[in-house]
Amino acid sequence: MKKQHFIPLALAATMLAACSTVSMTGRRQLNIVSEADILSASLTEYQSYMQSATKSRDAAATQVVTTVAQRIAAAAEAYLTAVGQEADLQNYAWEFNLVEDPQLNAFCMPGGKIVVYTGMLNLIGNGTDRDDELAAVIGHEVSHAIAKHGQERASQQMLASMGSSVLSGVMSGASSQLQSAVATAYGLGTQYGALLPFSRKHELEADYMGSVLATLAGYDADAAITLWQKMEAQSSGSQPTFLSTHPSSTKRISELQKNNPQVKRDYAAAALFPSSAAAAAKATTSTAAPASSAKASATTAKSKKATTTAKKSSTGYRIGN
C-alpha cells in the first residue's frame, strides 16, 4: 500500500491561525512561535551576548548611537500606535548599545534591544550625513523587530527541524528547539554564511520599512543608498544575489532608489522631529512637505500617519517589483 503523506488537521488549523500581516507592507507571514516565547528566548540570547561583548568606552560615539536610536524607537512606537498595534508596545523595553567589534554589523532583538558595532560606525564616519546613515542602519534593524521577522524566521527554523514529526504536540517541549531557532535566526554564535539570519524578502522589506522609520524620525532616507554604496566599496567582491539569502548591494540600492521618493511623499509631513541637515536641504529643493511641518506634535503626526498607512495598505507594497 502506497504510503500517504498528509498534514494533520490540527496542524493545518494551527498554521492557519498563525498567519498574520506585516502592516506597513501588507505581506502575509506565518508565525507559529508565540510572542511570549520569542521574547523570552531572544532576551536570553541578548543577555548572553552582552555578557561577552565589550561596550564602547567612547562616550561621544555612544551618545550618537543613543540619540539616533531613540528617535527611531519613537518613530516605531508612533507607527505601531497609528496602525492599532499598541499592544505590541508593552513588549518593548528599549536598550541602546555600541559594542567594540570591527564587523560591519548591527541588530535589534525582539523587545527593542539594539546593538551597533563600532565597525559599522567607523564605516559611516563623521561626515554631515553621519546621523542619517546611522538612522538607516538602526531603522533597518528595528524594522526586522516590528515586522516580527525573527519570530517568522524562528518559526521557519522550527518547522524545518521538526519536519514530518508534525510539531509533536504542536509546541510542547520545544523550548530547546526554540532557543536554537532564535540563536540561528539572529546569527548569534554562528558563522556568517552557515545559515544567514533573514531571507532576501525580509532584508528588502526591512530596507523599505527602515526608510519609513528614518523619514518619520526626521532623517534623510536616501542616506541608506550612500550607506550601501560604502558597503559595496568596502566588500572585496559582490556575491550574486541568487547565491546568498541577502540581496546584493546593487539590488538593495536599486530598490531604495525606486521606493524612497514615494516614502518621502507619504511620510515626511508626519515626521516627529525636526529634519536632519541633509533631509532639510533636500526638502527645500523638492516637492516634499517643508521642513517646518516636521515639527508637528506627536498627536498630529500619528493622525497623519494613520491616513498614510491606510493608503499604503490599499496600494499593497510589493517587494522587488
Q: What would the pLDDT profile of 52-80 be if each residue is shown by its tens digit? A: 999 999 999 999 999 999 999 999 999 99
Q: Which residues pair with 266 in a beta bridge?
A: none
- Cell numbers given for 270: 508626519
- pLDDT of 161 above 80: no
Mean of all residue pLDDT scores within the chain? 77
Q: What is the pLDDT of residue 183?
A: 55
Long-range contacts of 99-104 (CB under 8 A, 24+ apart): 99/53, 99/54, 99/55, 99/56, 100/53, 100/54, 100/55, 100/56, 101/53, 101/54, 104/231, 104/234
Q: Are 33 and 151 in contact (CB under 8 A)?
A: yes
Q: What is the DSSP letter of 171?
A: T
Residue closest to 282 by CA, chosen among 217, 207, 231, 215? 215
Report d(CA 162, CA 156) in Å as an integer.
Answer: 10
- pLDDT of 320 above 70: no
* Per-residue pLDDT reduced to its tens digit, 203-250: 999 999 999 999 999 999 999 999 999 988 887 655 544 445 567 888
Q: What is the DSSP letter of 293?
A: G
Report d(CA 34, CA 20) in Å as an integer.
Answer: 12
**Out of 45, 77, 133, 141, which one is annotated catalytic?**
141
pTM tops 0.95: no
Residue 172: pLDDT band with limits 50, 70, 90:
very low
Report d(CA 38, CA 275) in Å as an integer.
Answer: 35
| Residue 35 known to be catalytic | no
Residue closest to 218 by CA, chosen among 306, 299, 279? 279
Mean pLDDT of 105-132: 95
Q: Is 237 helix (H, G, I), strand (E, B) or coil?
A: coil
- Cell numbers given for 26: 501588507
**315 burial class (0-12, 13-18, 19+ CB within 10 angstroms)?**
exposed
Better pLDDT: 296 or 146: 146
Number of CB atoms found within 10 A of residue 87's CB = 9
